[in-house]
A and B are shown apart, each in its own frame.
Chain A
Amino acid sequence: MATPDQKSPNVLLQNLCCRILGRSEADVAQQFQFAVRVIGSNFAPTVERDEFLVAEKIKKELIRQRREADAALFSELHRKLHSQGVLKNKWSILYLLLNLSEDPRRQANKVSNYATLFAQALPRDAHSTPYYYARPQTLPLNYQDRGTQAVQSSGSLGSSGISSISMCALGGPAPPPQPLLPGQSHQTLGVGDCLRQQLGSRLAWTLTANQPSSQTPPSKGTPNAVSRSMTRSRREGETGGAVEITEAALVRDILYVFQGIDGKNIKMSNAENCYKVEGKANLSKSLRDTAVRLAELGWLHNKIRKYTDQRSLDRSFGLVGQSFCAALHQELKEYYRLLSVLHSQLQLEDDQGVNLGLESSLTLRRLLVWTYDPKIRLKTLAALVDHCQGRKGGELASAVHAYTRTGDPYMRSLVQHILSLVSHPVLSFLYRWIYDGELEDTYHEFFVASDPTVKTDRLWHDKYTLRKSMIPSFMTMDQSRKVLLIGKSINFLHQVCHDQTPTTKMIAVTKSAEPPQDAADLFTDLENAFQGKIDAAYFETSKYLLDVLNKKYSLLDHMQAMRRYLLLGQGDFIRHLMDLLKPELVRPATTLYQHNLTGILETAVRATNAQFDSPEILRRLDVRLLEVSPGDTGWDVFSLDYHVDGPIATVFTRECMSHYLRVFNFLWRAKRMEYILTDIRKGHMCNAKLLRNMPELSGVLHQCHILASEMVHFIHQMQYYITFEVLECSWDELWNRVQQAQDLDHIIAAHEAFLDTITSRCLLDSGSRVLLNQLRAVFDQIIELQNAQDAIYRAALEELQRRLQFEEKKKQHEIEGQWGVTAAEEEEENRRIREFQESIPKMCSQLQILTHFYQGIVQQFLVLLTTSSDESLRFLSFRLDFNEHYKAREPRLRVSLGTRGRRSAHM
């Protein structure tokens, strides 16, 4: 149409309206008003005025639509345009064209339009809102639900969205059917409303009625969303009695439910612990179901929230728990972020009613899709929360770790992230413990527990224990024991050994700072990273500890000293001591004084090789008098003692020392028997010559000898057994283990094993009580023999003496010229001799009884030996009865030994 060059804008606008609407000027008054306001309202554009940018956009759009040829064409045209230089405001027109452009393949891009919508911070059209709100009120509203399907809906769908499914494409009269009309078929109720609110159809409010819903092909895509809220319509008066809930209202409710707040229609039902849509609401089943499905998210959120809220009030929850709650909070924050985006989307729709097409508004379906990933996350978190109820500390970490064992990589990465946060406190405890030996664990979360009531002397054994429940599942038992040991060693060094060497010197491996990402790395290479650190710390610390113990406190030296003195290792010293002590110890126990005995001890030390020991050791050697029972001689109460203190006392604890003393007692007794028998032998030697002149005694003496020999053999074998089989072997083993020990626990264990072995082999444990009693009985017999022998010798020697005296006297008399022997003297002498000779059979019988008794006891002993479980004892029985002397007499010993060389205990 030919117009003058310069036209006023209004006129232009009017012309525009005429053109577009296809009607005469008169009719377009309304629209014209409207257009004026729209167009005139915003003079300044919100987008940058860059022509090239716009051209690029256009090209991109074309390319996106896979119309590269057109894109090339456009470039060409643009170039031409540019070269012509006719237009001043190229940007403007290009922008306009871009806005008005439509993608022929509109339906595919619906969802992507959403993205663009989201991405834009500002609305494309900055219209003043009241205008749009005002409009509907001028027109009557009509809700007819089934209304406005098909064409109408398609018309209304063609809203002024940015990328609209414009029905007026290409200016054609009949809009092509929109195949993607959202599944109206399943929405019986809520649909009608949604259609009303398109601004375009505001002019056509009355059209509601008669669109058969069947016209719309059902679709599976995004539903015909309610872009306008129901509330606005409600404001304008409601028709229809029952409360209908539109999808929009549901969406709003759902958004509240997502945060755990009850919506208008969807409320939490505590009885069933789920969200339910109010029963009386008129809602299609599918909507209801979808709403309930979405409400699950709210339920999950509530669960997690409840947990974190509860826990934050709990003071004794501990560090691990706090970090767990913090991790949960972080996740919830992300969730809230999503919710706020959704909310803003809803707001946007409210505010910008006009411009958002249905495809860019929130629907339940869209929510379903968008919240799918968050739902999985929340589900995982809720499962974690459930699993971790009531746990704290290392247990909590274990619980979280259990959840990392899943095949789903998404879940695994989520849980691993949480795990790394949660285990950070545990790891920091751990590192502090193994590098500094410090334990600051107010909430009892760490798996090493410290008992504050324990004093330093029991530090090693009792003060630190493992709290097994708190061991996280990513640490093995072995590792946790090592950890305990390391910290214990450090504390031991600090407190007991008074070694304040800072840890850094001790440990060659420098401790690196432990940032949280270390924890994350840890779980990618779990075993090795941990193991390496712990092992390194363990080796260094233990080595250092052992060094200190050996060098500064001479632990091994003391161990050897124990062997020498308490276990009678230093033979010459013991022998000398016994020699010196003999006259003292035969006295009754009550008459003994400790200082006397100590003096004797010192004498013994000085006189033997013991003097060359270090004074430190000799200082600790002492005499101890055991409790006195009535009738005890000194032999029964005497004992040596070795004082231990400081770090040594950790290895040689009081129980150990008491074991040592018991063993000493046993060994001392055995030694004493040996000693006695040597005395007896000595007596034999000495007196044999003297008594050769008394032939009548020879029988007795012979018997004595025999018995003594038997006893000597017995004691000899016992001593052999004790010395070699028991002491030497065990000591060797102990020494080897101690030399190879890697930490103090090993030494303590080896030492205790040593003591156990000795104790049981020396028949001192409870199982061998019977044997021990037998042995004691044997010893008693030996003492009896000694006594008897002494008596015999005394009598014999006295007799000898008398006879010699008699002879002397006779000689003297003869020398004096008298009768050598008077009749009376002779008579007396003969009487005496006869008396003596009569006493001999008594002696004989006494000895015989003794022998018999002794042999009986020994046989019993042998029987018990052969049934014992210890092999070396069984071998002892062989040695004791090497020539089957006892076997001949004891029928029980003749029973065959069975396959294992052992007689059964029941015979």
Chain B
Amino acid sequence: MVSGRGTRASVSAAANLNAVRETMDVLLEISRILNTGLDMETLSICLRLCEQGYNPEALSSGIKELRKVPEALKALKM
């Protein structure tokens, strides 16, 4: 489970975990609706990066670029 950065000690760990899980579910759902192509793990990583304050624009462009690589490599191999 990803532990959300936003939670603090005041909430019990279990509740926290639940909330986090729910949040992740929601986010995954949203991501599915939006067709972002992110799976759970990638999403969680991204989430963590965002929470840490990274620029989501930069992040998104980076991801897009990175996505292109496999195809390119694949074509290369062909």
Contact = CB atoms under 8 A, between A and B. Distances in A.
Interface string B23-60: 10011011101111111011001111111111111111
A479 interface: no
Contact of A20 (B29, B51, B67): B67
A97 interface: yes
A804 interface: no
Nearest to A168: B67
B75 A152 contact: yes
A175 B71 contact: yes
Given A124-B61, A160-B61, A170-B35, A155 B7 contact: no
B46 A96 contact: yes
Given A92-B50, A171-B37, A155 B57 contact: no
Given A22-B70, A200-B72, A45 B57 contact: yes
A100 B34 contact: yes
Contact of B51 (A3, A84, A88, A152): A88
B72 A203 contact: yes
A819 interface: no
A13 interface: yes
Interface stretch (A72-80, A458-466, A571-579, A703-711): A72-80
- Chain B interface mostly: helix
A35 B59 CA distance: 9
A152 to B, nearest CB: 5
B61 A101 contact: no
Nearest to A199: B65
Contact of A96 (B3, B60, B67, B68): B60
A103 interface: yes
B35 to A, nearest CB: 5
Interface stretch (A4-12, A329-337, A612-620, A689-697): A4-12
A98 B34 contact: yes
Interface stretch (A36-44, A519-527, A538-546): A36-44
Given A80-B26, A203-B69, A103 B47 contact: no
Nearest to A8: B52
B66 interface: yes
Nearest to B68: A200
A435 B27 CA distance: 78
A interface residue count range (under 10 / 10 to 19 / 20 to 34 / 35 or more): 35 or more
Interface residues of B, number: 58
A125 interface: yes
A78 B7 CA distance: 19
A507 to B, nearest CB: 70
A155 B4 contact: no
Interface in B4-26: 4-7, 16, 19-20, 22-23, 26
Given A99-B60, A125-B58, A203-B69, A151 B19 contact: no
Contact of A89 (B2, B16, B50): B50
Given A124-B57, A200-B69, A100 B50 contact: no
A40 to B, nearest CB: 8
Nearest to A49: B56
Interface in A79-107: 80-81, 84-89, 92-104
Nearest to A35: B62
Interface string A140-175: 000000000001100110111000101111110001
A783 B52 CA distance: 138
Contact of B73 (A62, A160, A204): A204
A823 interface: no
A12 B44 CA distance: 10
B26 A81 contact: yes
A17 interface: yes
A93 B6 contact: no
Shortest 10 CB-CB contacts between residues of A and residues of B: A200-B68, A101-B34, A99-B60, A92-B50, A100-B36, A204-B72, A96-B56, A88-B6, A38-B62, A160-B64
23 contacts: A7-B48, A15-B41, A20-B67, A31-B69, A35-B62, A40-B58, A43-B53, A58-B30, A61-B34, A84-B26, A86-B6, A93-B50, A96-B59, A98-B34, A99-B64, A102-B36, A158-B68, A158-B71, A200-B68, A203-B73, A204-B73, A354-B65, A355-B61
Given A86-B16, A92-B56, A93-B51, 8 more contacts: A20-B63, A39-B49, A86-B4, A86-B22, A97-B38, A100-B36, A166-B67, A201-B72
